[in-house]
Structure 1
Amino acid sequence: MRKWHRWLSLVFGIVLVFVTVTGLLHYVVAWWPAEPPTAAALAAREPPAGFVCPEGWRCSPPRGRPALGIDLGFVHHLHSGSEGGVWGEIVVMLSGLALLFFSVSGLWMYLRMWRARRAKGKRRGLFWT
């Protein structure tokens, strides 16, 4: 199990770091306050004459320039892998499965080592040095 854990971490570690960074960037961009729209931007984005917001929908005024100058949709597409097409989505999906594998195999290896130490009568804590 350790061999698989070690080799898969080398392959998927880079992808998992990329997914982590783009996920954090996604939240930074989403939470960063956007600049208020200028009067010219509001005038250019006004709905056509006679437009009424559909019932049950919430129509809001256009936002200003995206936070930090980064488009949230683009960051989301990077994070989900859709910018890389089908292959990008497959790699992101496999990295998610690899993360699940790392969690389960790491816990399994820890429990085996903990039981082996307990059977030998060594230190009894959950963590050891």
Structure 2
Amino acid sequence: MRKWHRWISVVFGVFLLWIAITGTLSQIVPLMSGGEGPPKTEAQASTPAKPAFVCPPDYMCRPRPKGGARSIVGLLHHLHSGESFGPVGVLIGTLSGFAMIFFSFSGLWLYIQMWRNRKNRALKPGWFWK
């Protein structure tokens, strides 16, 4: 298990780092900009917005980002999911997700094995050790 854990981490480490950085940035950018789009003038704030497009029934429509932090978050989402790199990017993103699941289970398994070995050798059986 340790051998697989090492080899898969060598292959997917860069992609998982990319996913972690873009995911973190996509959460930080809205916080830094206040989570709002471009500032509205008093006239815009006082008049209710009339939708220019009404989504037809049985469809799920998402509004497009309108500049500012929203467009940056949209870009970060496309980079994070791999959509910017086409089908190959999406495939690598999906495989990286499976790799993260594998790392979670194999890391836990390796920790349990180390804990059992320490207990069997009559060493201090703690959750954390030096």
**TM-score scaled by structure 1?**
0.74
Q: Alignment partner of 2:5: what SS?
A: helix
Q: Which runs of 5+ in 1 are unaligned?
A: 40-45, 55-62
Q: Alignment partner of 1:71: what SS?
A: helix
- Does the C-alpha gap of structure 1 residues 117 and 11 become closer, same or farther in structure 2, counting only changes over 3 Å? same
Q: Greater CA radius of gyration, 1 or 2? A: 1
2:17 is matched with which residue? 17
User: Moved runs in structure 1, 4+ residues, more than 6 A?
Assistant: none
1:4 and 2:1 correspond: no
- Does the C-alpha gap of structure 1 residues 108 and 12 become closer, same or farther in structure 2, counting only changes over 3 Å? same
- Does the C-alpha gap of structure 1 residues 83 and 117 become closer, same or farther in structure 2, counting only changes over 3 Å? same
Q: Alignment partner of 2:116: what SS?
A: helix
Instruction: State how 1:1-129 maps to structure 2 within 5 Å.
Output: 1-31=1-31, 32-33=33-34, 34-37=37-40, 65-67=67-69, 71-129=72-130
**Contact 1:36/1:65, CA 8 A, preserved across alignment:** no
CA RMSD of aligned residues (A): 3.1
Distance 1:103 1:64 in 2: 38
**TM-score scaled by structure 2?**
0.73
